[in-house]
Amino acid sequence: MSPSVSDVRVEFLSAMARALSAYGENADDLEQGLAACARSLGLRAQFFTTPTAVFASFEEGDEESTRLLRITEARIDLQALSLVHGVLSAVTAGTTGVEPGLAELKLIRASPPRFPWYMRVLASGLSAASFAIFLGGALTAFLAALPVGLAVGALVVVAQRYRRLTPLVELLAALLAALVTIAVGHLFGHFSLPTVTLAGVILLLPGLAITIGVAELASRHLSSGTSRLAGATVTLVNLGVGSFLGFALAARLDLVPGTGLVERSPSTVTFVVAVLINAMALVVSTNTRVRDYPYTLAAVVVALLGARFGAWLVGAALGVAVASLIVGLGSNAFARLRHRPAALTLIPGLAVLVPGALGLRGVSEFLRTASGGVDVLISVVTIAAGIVVGLMIADATLPPRRGRAFFD
């Protein structure tokens, strides 16, 4: 039987390629996983992956067919990614047939988000408030960032319903965050306006995309890595331009408030509360099961402590490599012991290390001075490279067990 268009094996592998790409799988793991599955199904297949498209070539005997699969939307969905990996593993191992696997895959793709829109908006506000603490703010910054994050979260929900706004969502979100920050600054002071604005758009920062892009370049997937980094750069520029326009407009109208003396460090109680809240927000924003909150909380704590330990050990620039090594080892150990996907704890941990935060500051500085942001933007790549090095060492030292990936 030739791998014709109607071949259910081709349909399954094509649907799997779309699903893995849509949920943010990196090029190396995607291509290797699909190729292994194709071999188990009796097909010779080659895959070429970019963030926006997958080329799939199937061959059996003298017959060959090639498909171009467009990827129009990618999002972080840990539950869906885990379930998709489970289907891939089951079909590859032969414990599930191709047709049942295809049906289950379609069901996963059609499932709505676990959390309703208002919880996603609330998660955006709580995430902004907690990251304001992580970025050096205190209680006033925490309270100021909450309405900023809520406003940005509401805008993102609206943009998801009105597709025409999708290309402008980062620009409009940063503009809105700047304007809301300025408005809150008139109500009470003692917080840093840039810190609160940055915290408000923290979930839109492409920190994970930058990290995956550098990892793909390191594994010689040059096309995918370059494309992913280019997309992340566009996102950073949109966020930087939006925040710059917001503050420039307020300055022109003489509406920028004087926030007075800025508190320099949060109290221990405030920091602990921020950690607990941040883990809750990440559960919602990554579409993780509520009962997996302890794992997300552990990942956030390990990442924060690892970052501080790494900064103390080798300095802030290289300390992120130490932090990512600790997070990677912990995630791989979790995957082995609990038979759960390493991404369940790895992605929340990397979200706290977010290299995109420094990237946004670099873009803002570039817009102000036309040259001063270059060093900061280079630091973003250095941070991302440090994260990748730490994760590569973790995988070489304690590789995750590749088996069941279901959320049981």
pLDDT score at 176: 93
Per-residue pLDDT of the chain (408 residues; tens, 9 = 90+): 445 545 888 889 989 988 888 887 777 778 888 888 988 888 888 888 888 888 888 876 667 788 888 877 667 888 888 888 889 888 988 888 899 989 998 898 888 888 898 999 999 999 999 988 887 778 888 889 999 999 999 999 998 888 788 888 989 999 999 999 999 988 877 788 888 888 888 888 877 777 777 777 777 777 888 888 888 888 888 888 888 888 888 888 888 887 655 556 677 888 888 889 989 999 998 888 888 889 999 998 998 888 888 878 877 667 788 888 998 899 889 888 877 778 888 888 888 876 544 545 555 554 454 444 455 556 666 777 778 888 888 888 888 764 433 333
Q: Could you give the C-alpha distances from 338 to 82, 93, 155, 263, 330, in angstroms and in order?
A: 14, 20, 38, 42, 12
Instruction: Give the position of tokens 């809750």.
Output: 280
pLDDT of residue 264: 62
Strand order in the sheet with 53-60: 44-50, 53-60, 63-70
Letter for the amino acid at 306?
A: G
Q: Where are the domains of the chain?
A: 8-110, 117-397
Rounded to whole angstroms, the Cα distance separating 180 from 160 reads 21
- In this prediction, residue 376 carries a pLDDT of 55
Question: Which among 204, 226, 203, 202 has a CA at the least distance from the CA of 213?
Answer: 226
What confidence score (pLDDT) does residue 395 get?
82
Polymer length of the chain: 408
**pTM of the shown model:** 0.81
CB atoms within 10 A of CB 172: 17
At residue 173, the pLDDT reads: 93
What is the Cα–Cα distance from 283 to 99, expressed in whole angstroms? 32
Nearest Cα neighbor of 246 from 233, 235, 259, 255 is: 255
pLDDT computed for residue 404 by the predictor: 37
Please check whether residue 128 is in contact with residue 145, taking contact to mean a CB–CB distance below 8 angstroms. Answer: yes
Environment class of residue 348 by beta-carbon count within 10 Å: exposed (0-12), middle (13-18) or buried (19+)? buried
pLDDT of residue 227: 83
**Letter for the amino acid at 254?**
D
Task: Give the E-state strand segments of 33-160 in sequence order.
Answer: 44-50, 53-60, 63-70
